[in-house]
């Protein structure tokens, strides 16, 4: 993280964490792990019914969680999500940009919309989300932003052109934030 917590500063309340793409896979596992560690977890994804299942798992393990619909390709959805997260748990302490999509196809065969969606979910979504939480983190001199990358960024695969390109772009963006 480029934002370092001051060592002498103690947090009196649990830190809040947003995990995007938390309805399954890495996102759900990450949200559950944060919940077990006592973080207040905000889950965001398009599949709301799956989010509810993850919230139940976190709460049954003694954690605190809140789910809200999120489409990282839609800036209005992002704004509504961030507002709901902040209203529920206060300022965002950690953002885990995990939402991802891979519409595998040869570049010559891929539909324009599939290529666009790969780039929007994997690259633009994290950029838009980070842009919305970073100013408050900078103001507080505290916060962490995590980007979930892929080895496809350095070892691109034939059927993953847009995915690999978007993850490579994400790596570059994470170095300049």
Which residue, 156, 69, 163, is CA-closest to 116? 163
Integer angstrom CA distances of residue 44 from 31, 41, 63, 163: 10, 10, 16, 21
> Which residue among the candidates 145, 163, 166, 168 is catalytic per the annotation?
163
Q: Is 163 a catalytic residue?
A: yes
Q: Torsion angle of alpha carbons 63, 95, 15, 7, nearest 10°?
A: 140
Which residue, 130, 142, 121, is CA-closest to 175? 130
**Active-site residues: which are they?**
163
């Amino acid at each position: 993280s480029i934002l370092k917590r001051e060592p002498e500063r103690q947090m009196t309340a649990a830190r809040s964490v947003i995990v995007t793409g938390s309805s399954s896979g890495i996102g759900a596992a990450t949200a559950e792990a944060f919940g077990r560690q006592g973080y207040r977890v905000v889950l965001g994804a398009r599949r709301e019914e799956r989010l509810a299942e993850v919230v139940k798992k976190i709460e049954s393990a003694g954690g605190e969680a809140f789910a809200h619909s999120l489409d990282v390709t839609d800036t209005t959805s992002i704004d509504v999500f961030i507002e709901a997260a902040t209203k529920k748990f206060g300022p965002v302490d950690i953002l885990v940009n995990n939402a991802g999509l891979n519409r595998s196809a040869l570049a010559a065969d891929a539909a324009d919309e599939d290529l666009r969606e790969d780039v929007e979910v994997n690259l633009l979504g994290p950029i838009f989300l980070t842009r919305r939480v970073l100013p408050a983190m900078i103001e507080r001199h505290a916060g962490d932003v995590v980007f979930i990358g892929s080895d496809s960024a350095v070892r691109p695969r034939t059927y993953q052109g847009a995915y690999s390109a978007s993850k490579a772009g994400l790596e570059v963006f994470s170095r300049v934030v």
